[in-house]
Amino acid sequence: MKAEEVKQANHQSNESINLENLSVFERTQQVIKQALGKLGYEDEFYELLKEPLRLLTVRIPVRMDDGSVKIFTGYRAQHNDSVGPTKGGIRFHPNVTEEEVKALSMWMSIKCGITNLPYGGGKGGIQCDPREMSFRELERLSRGYVRAISQIVGPTKDIPAPDVFTNSQIMGWMMDEYSRIREFDSPGFITGKPLVLGGSAGRESSTAKGVTICLREAAEVAGIQIEGARVIIQGFGNAGSFLAKFLHDAGAKIVGISDALGALYDPEGLDIEYLLDRRDSFGTVTNLFPPQLTNKELLVQECDILVPAAIENQITEENAAEIKAKILVEAANGPTTLKATEILTEKGVLIVPDVLASAGGVVVSYFEWVQNNQGYYWSEEEVEEKLEKILTASFHNVYDTSRRLKIDMRLSSYIVGLRRMAEASRWRGWV
């Protein structure tokens, strides 16, 4: 299929809109509108799905270690619960906003739709900088947040999980707080827990496993061998570091990585084992070396496969034309703007979008919730086998849809991801 055809079919309705100036939330609305249009749904469906059904803003007082009280702002958004309870992570980050949490909850709906999980999307966030908080301050903040949102969450309502700068310890505190409020043990309230509290084998590395599966399938359809392929990974947090390990083990050459402070690049391949060994719990490792490259410079270095695994809006109208990769696999949420998506598609770059590539985490979260509900636990092999099946099928479903309709994989992900939610909403009589 020619890139020009994709562009035309994809963005017929985009002409009058300046794609580059859209916020992540507006961007999501734009693709939802296109996807529902392609599926032939009436405007009411877009009206229903263009915003979360519910958004709670909370203010959480936390006693800090120095005796002072600090008030933190947090959110929980629930996009749509026509298919089942809502599901999605909680991020702790200074840049969390209401708009971002809303967009992220909508992306969760798409992820769950693509992978056919019985959930709608949800997302939470707290404006804070966990890198500057003590262990006990983080515990008090985590518990305070659960108390603040307890009315609208629960194992059959809305099930949180880890996201940026939250981890299994935080999930453990949150599960404990929720169980105390309800007065019975509720492991199914939250996923991404430590194993001894009902976590699932394989959850910690599941996002990276999912990215690896999608990347492998994409490389195959693009005719690129993983063995010896040059890969750049932006971000060395949970997803980025496990991914570096899996791809290194599979024989790929990791030529570039980065963290919040800077980037490393070596065309001969980096010493991944050393870097993994020396990274701190926030994924920082470049500070061990003299300054080399910035994050921005890293993205446009020579490589076959580029994996943004950090934050939003990294690939934009400004740098898209300079990207050298043949495949872009989005392990982070929202790293590429719509304008950049257009530019890359025109260049013939195969884009595996965030809502597909990063869905491994929520798939294994679903397995965790199923295991909690039945009180019977699976081996890591069982978890991996099931994840492998779901994501391989999801990749090909999205890929085939994009080829059939001559659209890019972002739009086809939304088409595949939204169809079931629109149908469930219709059967419930909401539209």
Q: In the annotation, is 123 catalytic?
A: yes
Least Cβ distance, residue 147 to ligand GLU (angstroms):
21
End-to-end CA distance of the chain: 36
Query: Which bin fits 173, alpha (ψ -120 to 50), beta or left (φ > 0)?
Result: alpha
Which of the ranges 87-95, 129-137, 220-228, 301-309 carries the binding residues for ligand GLU, by CB under 6 A?
87-95
CA dist 219 and 172 (Å) reads 37
The answer to the question of residue 365 lying near ligand GLU (CB under 6 A) is yes
Contact with ligand GLU (CB under 6 A) among 235, 308, 353, 361: 361
* Catalytic residue from among 38, 123, 209, 339: 123
Q: Find the part of the chain contacting ligand GLU (CB under 6 A) among 83-91, 217-225, 247-255, 299-307.
A: 83-91
Given the complex with ligand GLU, which of 82 and 358 has the nearer CB atom?
358
Q: Which listed residue (85, 89, 283, 335) binds ligand GLU by CB under 6 A?
A: 89
* Binding residues for ligand GLU restricted to 184-203, rule: CB under 6 A: 191
3-state SS track over 127-188: CCCHHHCCHHHHHHHHHHHHHHHCCCCECCCEECCECCCCCHHHHHHHHHHHHHHHCCCCHH
If binding is defined by CB under 6 A, does position 158 make contact with ligand GLU? Answer: no
Q: Which helix (H) or strand (E) holds 232?
A: strand 230-234
Stretch that binds ligand GLU, among 84-92, 125-133, 137-145, 395-403 (CB under 6 A): 84-92
Q: How far apart are CA 14 and CA 177, in angstroms?
A: 46
Single out the segment in contact with ligand GLU by CB under 6 A; choices: 12-20, 21-29, 32-40, 355-363. Answer: 355-363
Spatial contact of 140 and 146, defined as CB atoms under 8 Å apart: no
CB 372 within 8 A of CB 124: no
Q: Nearest to ligand GLU by Cβ — which residue?
A: 89
With respect to ligand GLU, which residue has the nearer C-beta, 88 or 202? Answer: 88
**3 state SS of 14:** helix
Residue 362 interacts with ligand GLU (CB under 6 A): yes or no: yes
Residues 92-131: x where in contact with ligand GLU by CB under 6 A, - otherwise, as a string: -------------------x--------------------
136/139 Cα distance (integer angstroms): 5
Shortest spacing between CB 175 and ligand GLU, in angstroms: 14
- CA nearest 420: which of 99, 121, 34? 121
Exposure on the CB side of residue 138, measured as CA atoms within 13 A: 19
Which residue, 207 or 402, is less far from ligand GLU as judged by CB? 207
CB 142 within 8 A of CB 107: no
The binding site for ligand GLU (CB under 6 A) comprises 87-89, 111, 161, 163, 191, 333, 358, 361-362, 365
For the annotated catalytic residues, the residue numbers are: 123
